[in-house]
Amino acid sequence: MNPPLNIAVIGAGVSGITAACLLQDHHKVTLYERNGYIGGHTHTVVIDRGPDAGTPVDTGFIVMNNRTYPLFTKLLSRLKVPLVETDMSFSYTCRRTGLEYASTSLNTLFAQRENVLRPSFWRFLWSVRALMQAIRKDLADGRLAGVTLGEYLAGEGVSREVVDRFVLPMAAAIWSAPDAQMAEFPMETFARFYENHGLLTLTEHPQWSVVAGGSHSYVKAFLNGFNGRVVEGTPVTGIRRTESGVMVTAEGAHPETFDRVVVAAHADEAFRMLEDPSDEETRLLSPWRYASNRVILHTDASLLPSRARARASWNYIREAGSGQGEPITVTYFMNRLQHLKTRETWCVTLNPAKEIPASSVHRELLYDHPLFTFESVATQEGLKALNGKRDTYFCGSYFGYGFHEDAVRSAVDVAAELGGAL
């Protein structure tokens, strides 16, 4: 059996947590995190005032399912963290036209009862169904390579109504990106994600779940069982590969040398940390860009559809006069998602188009999400080959579609190369 190694894991989001968890039984692990908390996008805020004080509300990572999150499900099982079933319904509201609908049932689809008698709304629904079938067929036939989402929709002659009221809003809600940015999204990546998650059919949807007690429950479980060292609130500013090992420099601390380093940060951050990047690292990491999203935890119910029956788990609102290039306004209805039994209505809104009254705001945060372009997606095939070269390993959600399962999968691969297993 090989002697234990001294390993630095840089970044304590889910990929760093997974890597550290799986490596601790075989090696000496130090986990670095720039923020003052462990978890990255797993960030549960505990309400600290008012009638709902003590209630945990998720603000970043919220939902998962057993079918498309198999490794994350296995990690939660290892940590003995239970799940609670929820739904992943979607609603669309246009403030200019007054249109509202939700995907939960016929009752919510026709939240505006007059739409039952509107031929235009029935045409809209039929067109959505036809588009989903076409995407599924074109994906299976290999016709989507090298085409953006916007180009595909234009080439298929998809109506502006379907594009603006369904395709772009739902996609923008999933990837936390403005409409115009989503139009540049690689179509094949888009379609494969939708197919894997049952979003191209009416009947094959997976059962979605939330982490019982808030997503911080799995972070707490990890920390309670972690036998390594945690260095939080300490950004790593430099990584240099030397003959004696990998030297890690952190803000306000003396440089430390490790046998191996696992960089579990966003791709752009990982590249900036490398003081001596190889040509291959530069080629595969430098194309990645990230978009920053304002996230507000609040109790302003005006950010939800006006009709109660139109309210869903994810609620997309197109404000009057908002353009395609403007940030999306998506509100997660947390009472519904997390089954909160609270006095107030708790919401998490991304990029509000109008300012939320300060009296309703409980916390404001910023989260960065990867931008998927042809250039960045083209690097994914080679990313895994970076691991092990010059005693350096990489993992993160950018190895896949930008979600928790992608981050966990990449970390499991790293751990396997260093003797760890989920």
pLDDT for 31 beyond 80: yes
pLDDT at 322: 55
pLDDT at 115: 81
| Whether residue 200 sits in one domain with residue 301 | yes
243 in a structural domain: yes
At 320 the pLDDT is: 66
Average confidence score pLDDT of the chain: 93
Phi, psi of 57 (to 5 degrees): -125, 125
DSSP H or E segment with residue 6: strand 6-10
Q: Are 199 and 50 contained in the same domain?
A: no
Residues 258 and 310 grouped into a single domain: no
Number of separate domains in the chain: 2
The whole-angstrom separation of Cα 274 and Cα 281 is 9
Return the closest-CA partner of residue 85 out of 420, 336, 398: 336
Give the dihedral sign, CA 147/150/156/162.
positive
Do 331 and 362 share a domain, yes or no? yes
174 and 101 in a common domain: yes
CA atoms within 13 A on the CB side of 309: 9
Sheet holding 208-211, edge to edge: 63-65, 208-211, 83-86
Question: What's the pLDDT tens digit per position in 223-279?
Answer: 999 999 999 999 999 999 999 999 999 998 899 999 999 999 999 999 999 999 999
Distance CA 144, CA 147 (A): 6
* Tokens of residue 64, six digits: 């998962």
The reply to whether 221 falls in a domain is yes
pTM of the model: 0.92
Q: 1 in a domain, yes or no?
A: no
140-185 confidence digits (pLDDT tens): 999 999 999 999 999 999 999 899 889 988 888 888 887 788 889 9
Strands 236-242, 245-250: pairing kind: antiparallel
Domain co-membership, 10 together with 67: yes
User: pLDDT (tens digit, 9 = 90+) per residue, 291-328?
Assistant: 999 999 999 999 999 889 999 999 998 876 555 555 56
CATH of residue 53's domain is: 3.50.50.60
Cα(232)–Cα(164) distance, integer angstroms: 43
3-class DSSP assignment, residue 179:
helix
**CB under 8 Å to 184, separation ≥6 — which residues?**
148, 149, 150, 373
- Give the tens place of pLDDT for each residue, 323-345: 555 556 899 999 999 999 999 99
For residue 399, give both structure tokens: 């190895």
Containing structural domain, residue 328: 84-209+290-371
Q: What is the pLDDT of residues 346-393, one digit of tens each?
A: 999 998 988 999 999 999 999 999 999 999 999 999 999 999 999 999
Reading phi first (left if > 0) and then psi (alpha if -120 to 50, else beta), residue 213 is in left
What confidence tier does 44 reach under pLDDT thresholds 50, 70, 90?
Answer: very high
The verdict on 160 and 93 lying in the same domain is yes
Say whether both 111 and 173 belong to one domain: yes
Q: Are residues 308 and 282 in the same domain?
A: no
Contact indicator for 56, 213 with CB cutoff of 8 Å:
yes
**Looking at the structure, do residues 127 and 182 belong to the same domain, yes or no?**
yes
In this structure, is the dihedral angle defined by the CA atoms of residues 196, 197, 200 and 202, taken in order, positive or negative? positive
Q: How far apart are CA 66 and CA 205, in angstroms?
A: 11
| Furthest-apart CA atoms within the chain: distance in Å | 75
